[in-house]
Structure 1
Amino acid sequence: MLPRALTVTEASLGSKMQPDGRRNGMATQCSGVVGGCGGRGEAGGREAAASVSPPAPGASPPARLIPLLALACGSSVATVYFSQPLLVTLGERFALGSGLLGAIVTVTQLGYAMGLLLLVPLGDLLDHRRLVTGQLGLLALALLAAGLAPGAVALLGALAVVGLLAVVAQTMVAAAAALTPPARRGRAVGTVTGGIVTGILLARAAAGLLADLAGWRAVYLVSAGVTAVLAVLLRRVLPARPPSAGARDVPSYGRLVVSTVTLFTRHPLLRIRGALALLVFASFSTLWSGVAQPLSGPPWSLSHTAIGAFGLAGAAGAVAAGVAGRWNDRGYAQRTTGAGLVLLALSWLPIALTGRSLWALAVGAVLLDFAVQAVHVTNQTLIHAVRPDAGSRIIGGYMVFYSAGSSLGAFGSSLAYAAAGWPAVSALGASFSLAALLLWATTRRSGVPGGGPGVW
């Protein structure tokens, strides 16, 4: 059962001061403000006075906020993955061949990429509470449209909008980072990212179960209702904050979006971590976008529920998110990245045996999800530290690489399976993993200006 929503008094007064956050607390709390911590003038002052006060400098966010953000993140990002165990059914329902099944995932990811560029940067300009709850409300409507889609064009269009709005999860990650003192930021990002991992895993299992019980449309209709409820809860709990004081170079939305590209041009660490994300999530998507086809056919012929349940085999990924967050707080980011990438490459050895053993697939899925989330949390923690005042833009830009990799993996896996079956899919996933390991090893030796080898 969800915890009772905080009242205004609880949200504004319930957090405790953290001694280890006093020195950097003001920079953290101002990370969402344009033009100064004083807000946006008279109108902004009236809005802030009428809502929940932001946490005091150096203070932790309200105790119930981070878990609720983790839940909302998981629910939001799950909408991007609902289609994966349903691909064969959706292909039959809308007359899509096996080589085109990846298009269902690809259009969602392309919408996600657009949202990352166009919507996530707004977190550095607008009040977090209004932005998050508004996007959740629109996401609920898009899910409703997907559940009621009469044909393939309507379905693909609705799923593209779902992807566009599902980026609210990344806005919430940036909000959690901005509301947390630097000494505890890794743990907060790890908790919220753990919610995302759990949402991805449960998305497959829940989608498979609901599809078997009530048809594929029920998956999207139920999600629409859950999303609407979470929007209401977060409206009460999330502190209203004026936009960021540190975004001196982004006085308008247009310059805000352009500055996202500029940030990645200026900071090599962002480009390297983004490239790692592209390759890592291409490997991730190669597995989860392609595995429904061998599992739904001979010799296994599994149901939607059974196919979706394999997502639970990767539950170790949620554990990895929390562990990686703690390791990053201790300065072990480089070791975490290297170990995760080695594990990712090795995971494809048992995954390649899917046609012979479901246990091999389960073991490989555990290793793959653990590795992916360890690297992902490390990436997000490091890139946010480059420019905390531009946290939303940096995370949004980084996740564009994630979305591009997911699209590449989804489309590539469907083509590979149509051409040569599961061995070709396994070879593709292993290639992405080895490329990521090679990139990390090369950049680790050469070093990055502005960041010593111990940083990344």
Structure 2
Amino acid sequence: MSSGVSRSQRVILALVCAVAVSTIYAIQPVLATAGSDLGLAPESLGRLVAAGQIGYFAGLILLVPLGDVLNRRGLITAHLALTAVGAAIAAAAPNGVLVMAGLAIAGVFAVVVQVTVAYVAAVSEPSERGRNIGAVTSGVVIGILGVRILAGVLGDTAGWRAVYALLAVLCAALAVTARATLHPDRRASEARYLDVLASMGRLVRTDRLLMSRGLITLFLFAAFGTLWSGLALPLGAGPWHLGTTAIGLFGLAGLAGALGAGRAGRWADAGRAQAITGWSLALLTGSWLLVAQVRSSLWLLIIGIVALDFAVQAVHVSSQHLLTTAHPNRASSVIGVYMAFYSLGSALGALTTTWAYGSWGWAGSCWVGAGYALAALVVWGLARLGRIADPVDVDSDGAAPQPCPAR
């Protein structure tokens, strides 16, 4: 039975998401500095980024399903503690191999983010589920973008290792705080781990809502990754020639957009999750027209970043609201599968933006990003027509969504 989520608990859970996801992305702004310190060749630096992403993907498949088997409060505490261990290893490791091992460990247990979302969905009152998910998942975007600013500043002042030392301390402190302040979540039914793993495969094959939302999020975060994995390239080149710290400050624009989408959860609670998705994806596609103006105007770029991150967060919250409402008794499994699409999309965007930039410059990267956004919009449109999934929306009382005629 849901016991509700207090305001202070929402703040704590948002911080859990922000700090945990930061351990995956903190290496990006300090990549060159870390590589030089560790004696890595430039062509090997990508391994530092890949280590955390590979660990994260493994955790999504292997660990997130435990949330449908074990008490999620205990999992949140344990995963945070082990994320702290991984971050501490990365901070203290004397060579690149051990740093990659630490980053991989942190990545594996950073899936505490998905366990946290499932926990919030389980303990929230139905009428507040979307609002609470929106508030907590705002922490994810805050972590992804905010750590760029933090890492840029610390990397220039205290060194790249200080970033991971700080994240290790924060993860450990949050583990203690979560254990002391969160309520245990109750299971409606007992499930076996292997059965949950098997059900994840069946969900991908048979659940049309999950498939459509998974494809949307793949393209959504491919567009997101296209921007944030490639933006440093044109900003560091002419005519701006910005440094690492200055480039990291553009994360503030992304934060403004993500936080502005905080009401998306309330709109989803009111039964407008599908409409939010449609107009947000249209906004995402159009935002690339502004992002493409980086060489002529930083102000147009900033407006484009705000619009893009607003749209990404609004769609992300709406999708999780629909999926956790449709599958209340296996929210962890559903979120795990959904976020696997997220992980693949982020990797796809990071790979293709550098390729496009090398071939056609920033204009090429923007065409790729806009193409991903348009693909997500097409998937949503086909889903609404019943070609991919039954159009689904959530009633304001939080009841499980039911198929409805296309409107």
Q: Determine the structure 2 residue equivalent to 1:255.
A: 195
* 1:126 paired to 2:70: yes
- Answer with 295-304 or 390-399: which moved more: 295-304
| CA distance in structure 2 between the aligned counterparts of 1:188 and 1:279, rounded to whole angstroms | 25
| Structure 1 residue 246: Cα displacement | 3.1
Q: Aligned residue for 1:310? A: 250
Deviation at 1:182, TM superposition (A): 0.9
Given the superposition, is the C-alpha separation of residues 138 and 333 from structure 1 closer, same or farther in structure 2, using an over 3 Å criterion? Answer: same
Greater Cα shift, 254-263 or 265-274: 254-263
Q: Which shows bigger deviation, 164-173 or 89-98?
A: 89-98
CA contact (8 A) 2:236 2:242 kept: yes
- Is residue 275 from structure 1 mapped to residue 219 from structure 2 by the alignment? no
Question: 2:7 and 2:18 mapped to 1: Cα distance?
Answer: 18
Name 2:395's counterpart in structure 1.
Answer: none
Asked if structure 2 preserves the Cα contact closer than 8 Å seen for 1:347 and 1:368, the reply is yes
How far apart, CA to CA, are the structure 2 residues paired with 1:80 and 1:222?
Answer: 14
SS at match of 1:84: coil
Is this contact kept in 1: 2:221–2:345, CA < 8 A? yes
Answer yes or no: is 1:371 the counterpart of 2:311. Answer: yes
**Paired residue secondary structure (2:29):** helix
By how many angstroms is 1:284 displaced? 0.3
From 177, 188, 192, the equivalent of 1:245 is 188
Q: Deviations over 1:345-379 (max 9, x none)?
A: 11111212223332232121111100100000000
Secondary structure at the counterpart of residue 300 of structure 1: coil
Q: Distance in 2 between matches of 1:261 and 1:129?
A: 25
- Residue 137 of structure 2: which of 186, 190, 193 is its match? 193
Cα distance in 2 between the residues matched to 1:432 and 1:311: 21
Structure 1 pair 321–177 and aligned structure 2 pair: CA distance change class (3 A): farther
Which residue does the alignment assign to 1:158? 102
Provide the aligned C-alpha RMSD in A: 2.1
Q: 1:109 aligns with which of 37, 53, 56?
A: 53
Tell which structure's C-alpha radius of gyration is larger. Answer: 1
User: 1:16 maps to which residue?
Assistant: none
Partner of 1:326: 266
- Is the CA contact (8 Å cut-off) linking 2:5 and 2:132 kept in structure 1? no
Name the CA distance, whole Å, in 2 between partners of 1:102 and 1:415.
Answer: 14
Looking at structure 2, the residues matched to 378 and 417 of structure 1 have their Cα atoms a distance apart, in angstroms, of 32
Tell me which amino acid in the other structure corresponds to 1:432.
Answer: Y
Unaligned runs of 5+ in 2: 391-401
Checking the alignment, whether the CA contact within 8 Å between 2:258 and 2:306 is kept in structure 1 is no
User: Alpha-carbon deviation of 1:103?
Assistant: 4.8
Unaligned stretches of 5+ in structure 1?
Answer: 1-25, 30-54
Of the three residues 227, 233, 255, the one matched with 2:171 is: 227
One-letter amino acid matched to 1:300 = W
TM-score (normalizing by structure 1): 0.81
| Residues 56-205 of structure 1: pairs in structure 2 closer than 5 A | 60-90=4-34, 92-93=36-37, 94-97=39-42, 103-205=47-149
CA distance in 1, matches of 2:99, 2:61: 23
Q: How does 1:416-431 map to 2 (within 5 A)?
A: 416-431=356-371
Aligned partners of 1:106 and 1:411 also within 8 Å: no
Instruction: Determine the C-alpha separation between the residues in 1 that align with 2:263 and 2:273.
Output: 11
Q: SS in structure 2 opposite 1:315?
A: helix
> What is the rounded CA distance, in whole Å, between the counterparts of 1:89 and 1:291 in structure 2?
18
Q: Does 1:452 align with 2:395?
A: no
- Which amino acid is 1:344 matched to? L
Q: Provide the rounded CA distance (Å) in 1 between the counterparts of 2:361 and 2:32.
A: 15
Instruction: Spell out the pairing of 1:399-414 with structure 2 (5 A cutoff).
Output: 399-414=339-354
Residues 48-75 of structure 1: per-residue CA shift (max 9 Å, x gap): xxxxxxx4xxxx2344222211111111
Alignment length (residue pairs): 394
Give the CA deviation at 1:102: 5.0
Q: Aligned partners of 1:366, 1:62: CA distance in 2, in Å?
A: 29
CA distance in 2, matches of 1:76, 1:407: 18
Contact kept? 2:35, 2:41, Cα under 8 Å: yes
Secondary structure in 2 aligned to 1:83? coil
CA deviations on 1:99-155 (whole Å, 9 max, x unpaired) are x65554343222211111111111111112221111101101111112233333333
Matched, 1:207 2:151: yes
Structure 1 residue 323: deviation in Å? Answer: 1.3
Distance 1:364 1:152 in 2: 37
Q: 1:421 to 1:154 in 2, by over 3 A?
A: farther
| C-alpha contact (below 8 Å) 2:386/2:406 kept by paired residues | no
CA distance in 1, matches of 2:247, 2:140: 20
Q: Which amino acid in structure 2 is aligned with residue 162 of structure 1?
A: A
- State the one-letter code of the partner of 2:112: V
Deviation at 1:95, TM superposition (A): 4.0
Assess, with a 3 A threshold, how the Cα gap between structure 1 residues 404 and 74 changes in structure 2: closer, same or farther: same
Tell me if the contact between 2:56 and 2:104 (Cα under 8 Å) persists in the aligned partners.
Answer: yes
The 4+ residue runs of structure 1 with deviation greater than 6 A are none
Q: Distance in 1 between matches of 2:46 and 2:306?
A: 23
Identity %: 46
TM-aligned CA deviation for residue 208 of structure 1? 0.9
CA contact (8 A) 2:385 2:406 kept: no
**CA 368–106 in structure 1, closer or farther in 2 if over 3 Å, else same:** farther
The CA distance in 1 between the partners of 2:57 and 2:263, in whole Å, is 28
Distance 2:307 2:47 in 1: 27
TM-score, with normalisation over the residues of structure 2? 0.91
Deviates more, 1:395-404 or 1:436-445: 436-445
- Verify the 8 A CA contact 2:122 2:185 in the aligned structure 1: no
Change (3 A) 1:62 1:320: closer
In the alignment, is the contact (CA less than 8 A) between 1:276 and 1:436 conserved in 2? yes
Q: Contact 1:105–1:410 (CA<8 Å) still a contact in 2?
A: no
Distance 1:293 1:218 in 2: 25
